[in-house]
Structure 1
Amino acid sequence: MLITTEYIKVRYAETDQMGVVYHANYLVWCEIGRTSLIEDMGFNYANLEKEGILSPVVNLQFSYKYPARYGETVQVRTWVEDYNSIKVTYGYEILNEEGKLCVAGTSEHVCVTKDAFRPISIKRKFPSLHEAYEEVKKKSDA
């Protein structure tokens, strides 16, 4: 399974008064992980946007397990959980420096055209990206 790992130093602005990471910041870190994963698959999300393709979130499921805190460096692990040529589900784990699981979850995305904002078939519109997702999915099924 292809898993991308990014390391992020928790900044003061990302925490509340208790020094605990504010829950919405985990989503920003997942976006960093997702972008990195797509790059590791050989693609660039910014280039897809230039071609008029967007990938909005259609569903989020996150479970908060343990607080990440100011000053720690967290590890954001990202992989493809599922793919069906229309929808991609990414999986995430965010761990603190001690290896404790802080957050686990998934985000589901569809590709849409920028103009009409209607879902498209990745298989038809971007066959090479489709093949990359299929390859990653095969590895995770093994």
Structure 2
Amino acid sequence: MHISTVEAKVRYSETDQMGVVYHANYLVWMEMGRSELIEDLGFHYADMERMGILAPVYNVNVDYKKPCKYGEKVVIRTWIDYYNGVRIVYGYEIYNGVGELAATGTSSHVCVKKENFQPISVRKILPAWHEAYEKAKKK
């Protein structure tokens, strides 16, 4: 299983009145992790989009465990939790500045044609992506 790792520094604008990261910002970090993983595998979302294919989120789950605070560097770990040639579920762990597990989550995606949002088979339409995902996914 391939696990991608990326760091982000918590900006003041990402915190709430309690001094901790506002919950929606974890979704942004998950997207950063997902993009990094895709790049690790040798691909870019933009290339797929130029082909007229999108990968919308249809489900997301986040479990918050410990706070992240302004000025900390957070670590986002991302992997392919499930892949069947059509559906993709990415898994995430986000660690705060002192190395504590701050959040876990998943996001579920399906690749679709841009013009009509009809699902496509990654296996058939993007065979190189399919092969890379098969190799990288969680066993």
TM-score normalised by the shorter chain: which range applies? over 0.9
2: CA distance between counterparts of 1:18 and 1:70?
11
Question: What does residue 126 of structure 2 align with?
Answer: 126
Q: CA deviation at 1:18?
A: 1.6
3-state SS in 2 of match to 1:36:
helix
Please give the residue correspondences for 1:5-24 in structure 2 after superposition, counting only pairs within 5 Å: 5-24=5-24
Q: Which residue of 1 is the match for residue 112 of structure 2?
A: 112
User: Where does residue 28 of structure 2 map in the other structure?
Assistant: 28
Structural mapping, 1:46-65, within 5 Å: 46-65=46-65
Give 4+ residue runs of structure 1 displaced > 2 Å after superposition: none
Q: SS where residue 37 of structure 1 aligns? A: helix
Whole-angstrom CA distance in 2 between matches of 1:13 and 1:115? 36
Contact 2:68-2:97 at 8 Å conserved across structures: no
State the one-letter code of the partner of 2:12: Y
Following superposition, the deviation at residue 62 of structure 1 comes to 1.0
TM-score normalised to structure 1 length: 0.96
1:45: which partner in 2? 45
The AA in structure 2 aligned to 1:102 is A
Shift of 1:97: 1.9
In structure 2, the residue corresponding to 1:23 is in which secondary structure? coil
CA RMSD of aligned residues (A): 0.7
- After superposition, where does 1:78-89 map in structure 2 within 5 Å? 78-89=78-89
Greater share of residues in helix = 1
How far 1:71 moved relative to its partner? 0.9
Q: Give the distance between the partners of 1:101 and 1:37, measured in 2 at CA.
A: 19
Aligned partner of 1:66: which letter? K
Deviation at 1:32, TM superposition (A): 0.5
| TM-score, normalised with respect to structure 2 | 0.98
Give a deviation string over 1:1-35, Cα, whole Å, max 9, x none. Answer: 21111110000000001210000000001101100
